[in-house]
Amino acid sequence: MKLIYTLLFAFAMIFISCNDDELKSGTNSNLPILHNYDSDPDGYSKLDDAIKKSENPDRNNWQKPRKVIDRLGALKNKVVADIGAGSGYFSFQLLPSAGKVIAIDIDQNALAQIDTLARSLSSTLYSKLETRLVGFDDPMLKDEEIDIVFLSNTYSYIEDKVDYLKTVYKGVKPKGRIYIVDFKMKILPQIFPKAEERIPLFEVERHLEEAGFKHIFSDDKSLDYQYIVIAEKG
């Protein structure tokens, strides 16, 4: 299991150092700016700085974070668990809209980076962010604690996937949802995971069903390199 997560961390480092020309062809329209910070009285301008420091900007061009976050729907007053949060790329972007964001990871250094960046935020945003260090096979969610579980570029590296999802299921509120964003099986640029390190969409759907989730919906059109799978706690 430790080897699996070591590979995950190494893969994240590849993302951060990415300089592939194909992925630099995007424009600033892909940058994850969610507010008109200049007119925001709560000082959201520092949030944009935190987002930029949490990940290489090239990721915006292929990850399309706005499209991903839009698929989450209304987040007001919702508790969101960002499992595999890494350096906080999505956690920071979820903060303005969510009621609370729990950044969950197995890497203490990654969570320390989130905590460091978060200190520059306004008290309004800072109070909505929690970091949580967890084990390899347990996200350590309290029973029915979470409205939305979010996993981006993480699911394929979880070893006992169905058991893990069953544990996650207990932490989701009734009618709560889980969103899994991961890489398609089609040929991808070399900076992305090798085929044997990816998981087919149909397997994710099957795992969710076996874990007890209902109303499974898959979107493999919105993102160029990834699919989004959405399911609900029955």
> Which position has the token pair 């990834």?
226
Residue 216 φ then ψ, to 5°: -75, 125
- Tell me how far apart the alpha carbons of residues 165 and 207 are, in angstroms, rounded to a whole number: 8
Q: Which residue has the higher pLDDT, 61 or 5?
A: 61
Full-prediction pTM beyond 0.95?
no
When the pLDDT of each residue in the chain is averaged and rounded to a whole number, the result is: 83
Q: Which CATH number fits domain 2-233: 2.60.40.420, 3.40.50.300, 3.40.50.150, 3.40.50.2000?
A: 3.40.50.150
- Spatial distance between the Cα atoms of 76 and 182, rounded to a whole number of angstroms: 25
Say if CB 212 and CB 185 are below 8 A apart: no
Going by their DSSP bridges, the two strands 172-183 and 226-233 should be labelled as antiparallel
Residue 11 has a pLDDT of: 41
Letter string b/e over residues 161-198, b meaning 16 or more CB atoms within 10 A of that residue's CB: beebbebbbebbeeebbbbbbbbbeeebeebbbeeeeb
Both tokens assigned to 177? 């949802």
CA distance 189 to 22: 8
Digit-coded pLDDT (tens) for 184-204: 998 888 878 888 899 999 999
Distance of CA 115 to the CA centre of its chain: 17
174, amino acid identity: P
Split at pLDDT 50, 70, 90, the class of 44 is low
Q: What pLDDT, in 10s, does the model give residues 90-144?
A: 999 999 999 999 999 999 999 999 999 999 999 999 999 999 999 999 999 999 9
Task: Give the Cα separation of 138 and 161 in Å (integer).
Answer: 11
Query: Domain boundaries in the chain?
Result: 2-233
**The predicted structure's pLDDT at residue 224:** 92
The per-residue pLDDT for 45 is 61
